[in-house]
Chain A
Amino acid sequence: MSPSDDRALPGTIFDESAILSIKDLSRMCAVDERHIVEFVEEGVLSVVNVSSEWHFTGEALRRARLAVRLERDLELNLAGVALAVELLEELAQLRRELNARR
Chain B
Amino acid sequence: MEFKDYYKVMGVARDATDAQIKQAYRKLARKYHPDVSKEKDAEARFKEVGEAYEVLKSPEKRAAYDQLGKDYRPGQDFRPPPNWDSGFEFSGAGQGDSSYSDFFDSLFGAQGRAGRGRGAGTHPGRGEDHHAKVLLDLQASLNGGSRSFTLRMPEIDAEGRLVSKERTLNVQVPKGILAGQQIRLAGQGERSPGSGTPGDLYIEVEFQPDPLYRVDGRDLYLELPVTPWEASLGATVKTPTPSGNVELKIPSGSHAGSKLRLKGRGIPATPPGDFYVVLQIALPPANDEKAKAAYAALAAALPFNPRASLGV
Contact = CB atoms under 8 A, between A and B. Distances in A.
B173 A11 contact: yes
B172 A72 contact: no
Contacts of B143: 3
A28 B201 CA distance: 11
Which of A70, A72, A73, A99 has the most chain B CB atoms closer than 10 A to its own CB?
A73
A75 B26 contact: yes
Interface string A1-41: 11101011111111100100001001111111100000000
Contact of A9 (B95, B171, B180, B216): B171
Interface stretch (B8-16, B68-76, B183-191): B183-191
A66 interface: yes
Interface string B162-181: 00000001111110111011
Contact of A58 (B131, B172, B182): B182
B30 interface: yes
- Chain A interface residue count: which class? 35 or more
B204 interface: yes
A50 interface: no
Contact of B50 (A26, A70, A73, A96): A73
- Chain B interface residue count: which class? 35 or more
Contacts of A15: 178, 181-182
Given A9-B185, A10-B172, A100-B214, A70 B122 contact: no
Contacts, number: 115
A75 B171 CA distance: 36
B170 A14 contact: no
A65 B131 CA distance: 10
Interface stretch (B144-152, B226-234, B248-256): B144-152
Given A2-B145, A3-B144, A28-B129, A11 B119 contact: no
A31 B121 CA distance: 7
B51 to A, nearest CB: 12
Contact of A5 (B22, B172, B202): B172
Which 10 A/B pairs are nearest by Cβ-Cβ distance?
A: A30-B119, A8-B146, A11-B183, A3-B145, A5-B146, A14-B184, A8-B172, A14-B182, A26-B121, A8-B170
Given A7-B170, A14-B182, 11 more contacts: A3-B146, A9-B172, A12-B184, A13-B181, A13-B183, A26-B121, A30-B122, A31-B121, A33-B121, A59-B181, A96-B216
13 contacts: A3-B144, A9-B185, A12-B183, A14-B183, A15-B181, A15-B182, A28-B129, A31-B121, A32-B121, A58-B182, A62-B182, A70-B36, A75-B29
Interface of B: 22, 26, 29-30, 33, 35-36, 46, 50, 95-96, 118-123, 128-129, 131, 143-147, 169-174, 176-178, 180-186, 188, 202-204, 209, 214, 216, 221
